[in-house]
Structure 1
Amino acid sequence: MKLMTGVAMFALMAAYATNASAADLGGDCCADLEERVAELEATTARKGNRKVSLEVYGQVTTAVMWWDDGFEDNVYVVDPQTSNTRFGFRGKAAINSDLEAGYNIELAWQTADATKVREDNDEGEDVPEFRQAHWYIKSNTWGKVRVGFADTANSGIAEIDLSNASVADGMSSSQAGHDIIFLDMGGPNLDNFEFNRRNVVRYDTPTYAGFVLSAAWGEDDMWDVALRYAGELRGFKIAAGIAYGENTDTSNGGSGVADPVIEVVNGGLSIMHMPTGLFVTTSAGQRDRDNWDTEEWFWFVSSGLERKWFTIGATTLFGMGGEYEDDDEATAHYWGLGAVQKIDAAAMDLYISYRHYELDGGVNGLADPNQDTFDTVVGGARIKF
């Protein structure tokens, strides 16, 4: 009996001690936890309010570029113009069931712009560039209005591409080595005639049967309109667009000439057969400088196959060609080949492309009058975050 009494008393004392210790530990633990949480809140980056969302996004794109202009050849590490290195912030907030408001700020940083490298400059430009800085209001019923530094209506209209080929060698990447062809070799000014991004007010209609109509006005002197379509038909995916714009801004090469009116018509079309992955992409444009009575033209076509032969991601193989011509009788014909390999698990694209240019006319100031060809190979990667 005495033994049982002693065991019971020992058990009670042990339970009391355990509870007391747990209570003490709990108090110390919570105090320490609250202190750590307060410290983290004080040192963690956070957005200004909880009403508007915040998303950080971006990509890094770098490559190795070899070029040969018939007079000199070099190898540079570059940031391609096709899809350059950038980061941004965007967010939105619901006003009601139909309306939302949002914003977008995006900055590009090219450590060596592939369009600016030349025989005497292996760095290109090394400057930040704002790509977006605007707010918007969007209605599911009435469409979207954005105000600020944003894409004009024709921005991207000549770069429509349903395949992944544009990562390596799309319409915009025709500018790789631009300054060598244009300044050193006296070739035409290679671009796709888009107004790109400006300080504008832009309106986009809601999507009706796959169509969206856009219009933009800004900087007092420019306006443009564009019609885009995206849809599927009998196993084919289709994306297309056409745009018209005018610009009388003297910064467009007017050199002080009064009202140097520039008129632009350009557009693009891309079709992919979804069961096989076969695709074709094309674009074209015309630019008139009315006061100078000059015209420029371009056309571009790319075709190939996009299939998922490897588990890591889809592979894109393509060939392409095109032409630029201006009233100075300078014409650039070009053709090329390329490949892109997606790595889905890393949101990454590995790419390589080759282009060959032949210039007719426009050979002012060449060190060698026979310097009328240009070759370039660009290989690298893009990773998104």
Structure 2
Amino acid sequence: MSVSAHDEAGEDPGFWIVLSLAIACGVTVANIYYAQPLIGPISETFHLDVAASGLIVTIIQLGYVLGLIFLAPLGDLVENRMLILTTVGAVIVSLAISSFAPNVSLFIAASLLLGLTATATQMLIPIAAHLTPENKRGQVVGTVMSGLLFGILLARPVSTLIAGAFGWRGVYVLSAVAMIGVFTMLSFTLPRRKPQHAMNYAGLIRSLWDILLTTPPLQRRTAYHAMIFGAFSLFWTAIPLILQQPPFSLSHVALSLFLLSGAAGAFVAPIAGRLADKGYGDALTFGAIFMVAAGFVLVWIGGGSSLWLLVLAGIILDAGVQMNMLVGQRTIYSLAAHIRSRVNALYLGLFFVGGAIGSALSGFAVSHGGHVSVALVGLCFPAITLILFGLELFRRKS
């Protein structure tokens, strides 16, 4: 059955399709996060200094932004199943190149391609929204997002453990194998969907600017999450660097356990989705801003001596990030169905710019003040978000 048929009948997509979408999202999106705790050993291999090491993650995220702008909108233009399978195949190729890159130039090029093609994840989430009737959309998207969030949060501990046993190149090899499994699974479970459209690719890309300018809910939610995601990227790129230095000097296993703690935040997604369906979006947004800020306050207090405070900071911060993202996606998926892939691409692409900025600042913050600088820079992100959200509430009352 096509997705468009689901939309017309208002049917439920079913357990196995939702599960396969969640698994595919998680395994695919993990590829843009594996490098975060590995920038130390990757930098050693290619002789990069600490201040420049954050650029490895930044290149992947910038590739992801480009993919969201130039590839993900194709979900509104071409048959979705073919598009997704082709993009997943390209992910496998980019992982293979990264695994055996002999120099930093080829590795960076492969990283850019990896980020570009990992946008297959953001082709899958709109399909979940298309498949689902309005009254269940937040719940189903939240379930698929749980898979994506587990992928994001488990990517770092998994890559650290694998790198400890097989080196950082082993992470990319095993990920390529996992993506072959995803390709095979989606070949059986992914429904066909042919979008109804009357434009070519050039018109599709040009329409992105018009959509952004004429869709205030998209503008607001994108601005909020760009800041929140910048905080997220800063934390998870900078803190592993701090924990590998004295006084912590964590081993690969210990660091992976720390990184695993953040996965607890993924359990918030289905709950936040249900609350968003019931109209609690503003309360969830306030809660998300507060939680992200609280995470960096804990970094300031305990970042130089207390591992447990850093664990707590990671859990609280991740939960806040997931809450804010769910509210944002629930809002933009309530917009017109025929622009859903483009709206999603704009939302993800623009907030990943915030993530790229956070990653780029991580190496500088660690090398110029350690955990205190990380906390101060990190607190700027939720502070800006609070100001923007406050302005929205003021405009509503006016």
Same fold, judged at TM 0.5 (above): no
Of Structure 1 and Structure 2, the greater helix share is in: 2
Greater relative CO (CA pairs within 8 A, separation 6+): 2
- How does the TM-score come out when normalised to structure 1? 0.29
Larger CA Rg, structure 1 vs 2: 1
Of Structure 1 and Structure 2, the greater strand share is in: 1
